[in-house]
Chain A
């Protein structure tokens, strides 16, 4: 039975769910929860980005732009105009998706470095607009965002809630929400990859010519995955804004875009669970390295460099390959 489970399609998702359930036992204080929630939201964003980068083989160096747009759309709609959170997230996703489609149509004709430059520029433009439109966004000083409310039920990090009679704090409630969102994001991504649409996306990466001669409209699929990954970023940006309660244009910054891409590459391009690991590692590393004080950035860079040199396929694919090799060896030794 264990064997059958290990081969089942949703094995990874079940393991991830178990980790998310067990994890609170190790989260000692609200700061730990805060870190875990941020990790989950960012992990879900890079799961979406990985569809574009890891599976369809297209690069985006401006993805924080879409994350920032989603964050600000939610912030402005709920804060300035008093919308409820759910419509703000949904309309935000539609708006950002449309922008991504309009931008993606022309720039996805580019390949390699040219596409990198174009997406980089998209990210910069969004960051500049958020910085300069003071009247709407508050400019570089940022803007406050109200607590998340779902159908009149407010989820604040300072609140207290009861779940099946157990009293939990606001961050714990947020942790549950973020976990569920991450699981749904992963489930959608897995379903997408293992489908005719997913094969078409991967074929664009594998051989665009082969894809086109069997009838795949490569331009259409590139746009589609660009829009999907932008929607992932937008929704997660919106949740991030609600969770933080305050946003600045830094959420759309170049540094943030690079962080997303690094998470994908470090964790393992084309590995949904790999990029989650990438997000966790890159979010934890600065905390662990804080003891090195002024050497922190140097250590950070060194670790990234060594990982890419010795594990070019990324953390998770390299680790799973090593484990299965060991297991094969063991099986061979017994025979």
Chain B
């Protein structure tokens, strides 16, 4: 079985700083795969490389066996990869549900002609997309906000909204960059349940997270980064007992 996401010898240098250096790993379909490490370890850089926002200095990323070197982020989305951001990327000039419907972009192909005259096929597609977006907002737990302006929503609700938008694209793999950052304990446990639900649907989840309780409880495999290099990789139990990891990160 080939891996869904495979990273081989990945390097990213910003000037003289190697943010990511010689990183290799593979994510099997259906796994919850977490990337942990101290601040500045290169976790977000790694996500930006995988989703095509950065170009690697060296190395290769394969999505479903296909090299992603020449692909733009939107082409990766067409191939089933979607993500959320540590610094949330929400369109504040739209309502909540419009943000989620934006996630349906790839499923909604209407010609300019159909659009200008607002033909029935477009109206039907829009109604269906709105219904689906409303269901997804219910699913992630922000169903009360449908027509609220995104700019008027709370931080926690926006975090969930971003996940709903990513899910709307019907991804094979979803990358969540610090989804629990800034959430309180109740919200974090709700998030944990949500990630489990997503994984149970068969969607591969890649996670960057600082909350150790969340990560240890939910992950199938862990990748530990330190100063851009791989410190350890394996199942949560193995990683927890790895002496390098204890020394560098968990602090004994």
Contacts and interface: CB of A to CB of B under 8 A. Distances in A.
A203 B85 contact: no
B78 A215 contact: yes
Given A196-B105, A216-B102, A210 B91 contact: yes
Contacts of A217: 72, 74
B89 A210 contact: yes
Interface in B62-121: 72-74, 76-78, 82-83, 85, 89-94, 98, 101-106, 108-110, 112, 115-118
A215 B115 CA distance: 19
Interface in B122-178: 122, 125-126, 129, 165-166, 168-169
Contact of B106 (A198, A210, A215): A215
A284 B132 CA distance: 47
A191 B102 contact: no
B53 interface: yes
A196 B110 contact: yes
Contacts of A196: 101, 104-105, 108-110, 115, 125-126, 129
B116 A214 contact: no
A60 to B, nearest CB: 19
Q: Is the interface of A mostly helix, strand, loop or mixed?
A: helix
B51 interface: yes
Interface in A180-215: 188, 191-192, 194-200, 202-203, 205-207, 209-215
A188 B122 CA distance: 14
A86 to B, nearest CB: 18
Nearest to A269: B93
A268 interface: no
Contacts of A216: 74, 102, 105
Pairs A-B, 7 closest by C-beta atoms = A206-B91, A215-B77, A210-B89, A196-B108, A215-B106, A212-B73, A191-B118
Interface of A: 188, 191-192, 194-200, 202-203, 205-207, 209-218, 224, 270
25 contacts: A192-B116, A194-B118, A194-B126, A195-B115, A195-B122, A196-B105, A197-B115, A199-B102, A203-B91, A203-B94, A205-B91, A205-B93, A206-B93, A207-B91, A210-B89, A210-B165, A211-B91, A213-B77, A213-B89, A214-B74, A214-B82, A214-B168, A214-B169, A216-B74, A224-B112
